[in-house]
Chain A
Amino acid sequence: GNSVTQMEGPVTLSEEAFLTINCTYTATGYPSLFWYVQYPGEGLQLLLKATKADDKGSNKGFEATYRKETTSFHLEKGSVQVSDSAVYFCALSDMNTGNQFYFGTGTSLTVIP
Chain B
Amino acid sequence: GAGVSQSPRYKVAKRGQDVALRCDPISGHVSLFWYQQALGQGPEFLTYFQNEAQLDKSGLPSDRFFAERPEGSVSTLKIQRTQQEDSAVYLCASSPGMGLEETQYFGPGTRLLVL
Which A residues form the contact surface with B (CB < 8 A)? Answer: 4, 6, 32, 36, 42-46, 49, 51, 89, 91, 93-95, 98-106
Bound complex: CA of A51 vs CA of B101, how far in Å?
A: 7
Cβ contacts B71-115/A at 8 Å (1 or 0 each): 000000000000000000001010000011101111111000000
Contacts between chains A and B (CB distance < 8 A), count:
63
Query: Could you tell me the distance in whole angstroms from the C-beta of A51 to the nearest C-beta in chain B?
Result: 5
Chain A residues in 8 Å Cβ range of B101: 32, 49, 51, 93, 95
Chain A residues in 8 Å Cβ range of B66: none
Bound complex: CA of A100 vs CA of B56, how far in Å?
A: 8
21 contacts between A and B (CB under 8 A): A32-B100, A36-B106, A42-B108, A43-B106, A43-B108, A43-B109, A44-B91, A45-B106, A46-B103, A89-B43, A93-B101, A95-B101, A99-B48, A99-B55, A100-B45, A100-B58, A101-B35, A101-B45, A101-B48, A106-B40, A106-B41
Query: Could you tell me the distance in whole angstroms from the C-beta of B92 to the nearest C-beta in chain A?
Result: 10
Q: Are B42 and A106 in contact (CB under 8 A)?
A: yes
Bound complex: CA of A94 vs CA of B101, how far in Å?
A: 8
Bound complex: CA of A101 vs CA of B59, how far in Å?
A: 10
Of all A-B residue pairs in the complex, the 9 with the closest CB atoms, nearest first, are A103-B42, A93-B100, A99-B56, A32-B101, A44-B106, A99-B48, A43-B106, A46-B103, A100-B45
Please give me the residue from chain A that is nearest to B47 by CB atom: A99
Chain A residues in 8 Å Cβ range of B59: 100
